């Protein structure tokens, strides 16, 4: 399998504390020898929606996600890229579900989409945000990288 068939997409806002999780994971993945394209989409929802329309076989979205667990808990979730819903064309919106809906409104998503998510502790003060990840989320970055590497290795083994 070629690297061009897989996208690892980090998303999030580094000025909102733990929301920067996905960005930090892909920053640390940059330069590693992976069978994937690794990209930091930050808060560029429109750019990610366009990337989802490219002919990838697999897309791994990396983001902070609230699911009610202990901060730092990691999740590997299958994302239903065929789910409908209203379209919101704000170019800087980075709600992954909305980005997928926007991409579907523009074309066909062919890739299997997985979310590597981390339970956040804090996004900082609503008025001022926060720089940097909380300790628990920072500690989860390395484990998320291992999770991504394992998904890629399993994909290669079954190719």
pLDDT of residue 82: 66
Which residue has better confidence, 77 or 4? Answer: 77
Average pLDDT over every residue of 104-127: 89
Residue 153 forms part of a structural domain: no
Provide the residue range defining the domain that includes 25: 3-143
Q: How far apart are CA 29 and CA 31, in angstroms?
A: 6
In sequence order, what are the residues at sequence separation of 6 or more whose Cβ sits closer than 8 angstroms to the Cβ of residue 103? 48, 49, 50, 52, 53, 81, 109
Residue 23 forms part of a structural domain: yes
Number of domains in the chain: 1
pLDDT of residue 117: 95
Residue 148 forms part of a structural domain: no
Q: How confident is the model at residue 92 (pLDDT cuts 50, 70, 90)?
A: very low
Residue 155 forms part of a structural domain: no
> Residue 132 sits in a domain of what CATH number?
3.40.50.1450
Average pLDDT over every residue of 94-120: 84
Q: How confident is the model at residue 37 (pLDDT cuts 50, 70, 90)?
A: very high
DSSP SS3 for 130: strand
pLDDT of residue 89: 39
DSSP SS3 for 15: coil
């Amino acid at each position: 399998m070629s690297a061009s068939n897989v996208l690892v997409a980090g998303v999030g806002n580094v000025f909102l504390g733990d929301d920067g999780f996905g960005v930090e994971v892909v920053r640390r993945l940059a330069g590693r020898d992976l069978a994937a394209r690794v990209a930091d989409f930050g808060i560029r929802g429109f750019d990610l929606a366009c990337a989802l329309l490219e002919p990838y076989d697999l897309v791994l979205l990396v983001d902070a996600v609230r699911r009610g667990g202990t901060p730092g808990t990691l999740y590997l979730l299958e994302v239903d890229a065929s789910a409908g819903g209203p379209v919101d064309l704000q170019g800087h919106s980075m709600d992954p579900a909305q980005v997928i809906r926007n991409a579907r409104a523009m074309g066909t998503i062919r890739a299997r989409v997985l979310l590597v998510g981390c339970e956040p502790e804090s996004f900082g003060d609503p008025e001022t945000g926060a720089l940097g990840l909380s300790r628990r989320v920072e500690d989860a970055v390395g484990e998320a990288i291992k999770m991504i590497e394992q998904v890629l290795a399993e994909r290669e083994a079954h190719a």
